[in-house]
Amino acid sequence: MQNRITKKLPLLDEKGHITEPGWASSPLWEYKREKIKAPVWRIKEWDYYAVLSEKKGYGLTFTISNLSYTGLIAICYLDFNHRYYHQIDEMIFFPSGRLKLSESDEGVVSFKGKKLSLKFETDKEKRTISFSSPFIKDYDGNTGIKGEITLYEKAGSDRIVIATPWKENPRAFYYNQKVNCLSADGYFILGEDELPRGRTEGRESKENNIKFNKSIEAGSEKNKFYFEKSEDFGVLDWGRGVWTYKNRWYWSSLSTKIDDHLFGWNLGYGFSDRTSATENALFYDGKISKLDDVKFIIDKSDYMKRWKIVDNQDRLNIDFLPILNRKSKTDVVFIKSIQNQLFGSFNGYAILDDGKRVEIKDKIGFAEDVVNLW
C-alpha cells in the first residue's frame, strides 16, 4: 500500500536514512544537504525543464545538474515539424563550487559558460528561464538562440513528490518532485535571418496526422517564436538524492489541455525501492489522481516504433507514437549514460480517482528510457 505523507518532516534522520518513505502532493520533506551521510560523489542534484508548444510544433528543454564528478548544463531546441533537434551542452568537472543548486525548488541557479548561458529563477508561483547560446542551430542552419520564458503554476495545484530509498543501501535515496501543467509565456529568437512579416509555416506529420502551425513574427525582428499561456505548457523535474552507481529508469510526462481542462501525467519507474509509493499520477485541473504501477511496452530494437503504456488497475491505456528521439550517449571518466528521450503524440484514455474517463487524442509529450552509470 502506498504511503501518503500529509505533514512536514525532515527528509533524513541522523543516520542519513529517509525518515519516512512515501509520496505527497506538495514538497513536505525538508532536504538538508548537511544531513547526507554518503560519500559526496554519490550525491546527484538537478533541475530540468521541458516547455512544449503542442499546436505550433516546437519546444525547448533546459538542464542544470550537479552529478558530483561533473556538472552538465544543456539547452535543447526541438522542431517537431521537421523531426529535428539540436542540443548544446557544457560539462564541467567537480562543479560544487560553481553549481549551487538550492535545497528547495525555489531560489536562483545560473550558469554562464563558453557555449551557453542559463538561469532559473523562482518567485512563488512564477518561474523564469533566461537562456542564450550562439551555437544552437535550427533545421535551416540558422545559428544562435536567446530567449526568456515564464512558467506559471495554478494556485493550489498538486504535484507528485516522492521520497524512496534503495534496498541495497539505506543511505541512498531519491527525493523528487514533478510540477506539471505550468502555463508558458515567453519567446525565443533563432538565428539571424529575417522573414516576411507574419509568415506562418505548417507541416503535417504523416505518421501522426497532426497539423502543427508555427507562427513567426519577423519584419524588423529576427526569427521569433512565442509560447502562449492559454495553450503552451511546461514541466519541472526537480531531483535531489544519493544514488547507487547503476540504474535504469522509464519516465513519461504530459502537460496539455483537454476540453479547456488542464490535464497531465507523470509516469515513472525502474529504480529505488517503490514498495512505499510510486511516482505515477494524473493531474486534472490541478488535482492529483494517484496511480499504482505502470509499464512501458517498447520495441528496444527501434525506439521510433509505437509504444504502449498501461497500468495494473486498468486506469491507463495509452499508445505513444514518437516524432523524434533526442538520444545521447556519454562516456566520461566514471559517468556512462545511454539516453533515449522520445517526443511524440499520445492517444488513449486515463481514469481519474472519481471515475471520470479522460480521452487523450494527439497530445504532445515525451517518454524515455535511460541507463545511467554515475
Q: pLDDT digit string (tens) for 303-335?
A: 999 999 999 999 999 999 999 999 999 888 778
pLDDT given at position 203: 41
Asked, for residue 2, whether it belongs to a domain, the answer is: no
Whether the pLDDT of residue 196 is over 80: the answer is: no
In the three-class reduction of DSSP (H, G, I as helix; E, B as strand; rest coil), residue 350 is classed as strand
CB neighbours (10 Å) of residue 45?
24
More confident residue, 80 or 220: 80
The secondary structure of residue 4, as a DSSP letter, is: B
| Alpha carbon 203 to its chain's center | 26
Give a yes or no: residue 73 inside a domain: yes
Residue 289 lies in a domain: yes
How far is CA 224 from each of CA 51, 56, 120, 197, rounded to the nearest angstrom?
Answer: 16, 13, 21, 11
- Give the pLDDT confidence of 5-56 residue by residue, as tens digits: 999 999 999 999 999 999 999 999 999 999 999 999 999 999 999 999 999 9
Residue pair 296/367 in contact by the 8 Å Cβ criterion: yes
Q: Which class for 310: exposed (0-12), middle (13-18), buried (19 or more C-beta within 10 A)? A: middle
pLDDT (0 to 100) of residue 263:
99
* Tens digit of each residue's pLDDT (9 = 90 or more) over 119-141: 999 988 899 999 999 999 999 99
pLDDT at 216 over 60: no
Q: Say what percent of the chain tops pLDDT 70.
A: 91
Residue 135 confidence (pLDDT): 98
Q: Are 349 and 356 spatial neighbours (Cβ–Cβ below 8 Å)?
A: no
Residue 93 Cα distances to 45, 330, 344, angstroms: 15, 14, 34
Structural domain contains residue 16: yes
Show the cell assigned to 106: 525555489
Q: Which residue, 169, 228, 224, is CA-closest to 198?
A: 224
Q: What was the pLDDT predicted at 334?
A: 78
Q: Does residue 282 register a pLDDT over 70?
A: yes
Cβ atoms of residues 303 and 361 within 8 Å: no
Q: What is the pLDDT of residue 221?
A: 59
The residue type found at 256 is T
Please report, in angstroms and rounded to a whole number, the separation of the first and last CA atoms in the chain. Answer: 31
Rounded percentage of the chain residues whose pLDDT exceeds 90: 85
Alpha-carbon span 292 to 271, nearest angstrom: 15
**Selection from 87, 88, 109 nearest residue 98 by Cα:** 109
Q: Residue 58: its pLDDT value, please?
A: 98
User: Rounded to whole angstroms, how far apart are CA atoms 313 and 278?
Assistant: 14
3-state secondary structure at position 331: strand
For residue 1, tell me if it sits in a domain: no
Q: Write down the pLDDT at residue 195.
A: 38
Query: Which pLDDT does position 105 carry in this prediction?
Result: 95
- Whether residue 335 lies inside any domain: the answer is yes
Residues with Cβ within 8 Å of residue 204, at least 6 apart in sequence: 210, 211, 212
pLDDT confidence of residue 200? 34
Whether 4 maps to a domain, the answer reads no
Q: How far apart are CA 126 and CA 130, in angstroms?
A: 13
pLDDT bin (cut points 50, 70, 90) of residue 199 is very low
> Taking all residues of the chain, what is their mean pLDDT, rounded to a whole number?
92
- Does any domain span residue 32? yes
Residue 366's domain spans which residues? 9-373
| Residues 297 and 306: beta-carbon distance below 8 Å | no
Quote the pLDDT of residue 69. Answer: 86
Under DSSP, the state recorded for 217 is B
Contact 54, 45 (CB under 8 A): no
In the chain, the largest separation of any two C-alpha atoms, in whole Å, equals: 64
Per-residue model confidence as pLDDT tens digits over 72-121: 999 999 999 999 999 999 999 988 767 889 999 999 999 999 999 999 99
The pLDDT, as a whole number, for residue 94 is 86
Q: What is the per-residue pLDDT for 124?
A: 81
d(CA 56, CA 211): 9
> What DSSP line would sit under 65-92, residue for residue?
EE-SSEEEEEEEEEETTTTEEEEEEEEE
Assess contact for 335 and 373: CB atoms under 8 A.
yes
Number of domains the chain is built from: 1
Give 1's pLDDT tier (boundaries 50, 70, 90): confident
pLDDT of residue 222: 55
Element (H, E) at 317: strand 316-332
Give this prediction's pTM.
0.93
**Under 8 Å between Cβ of 59 and 343:** yes
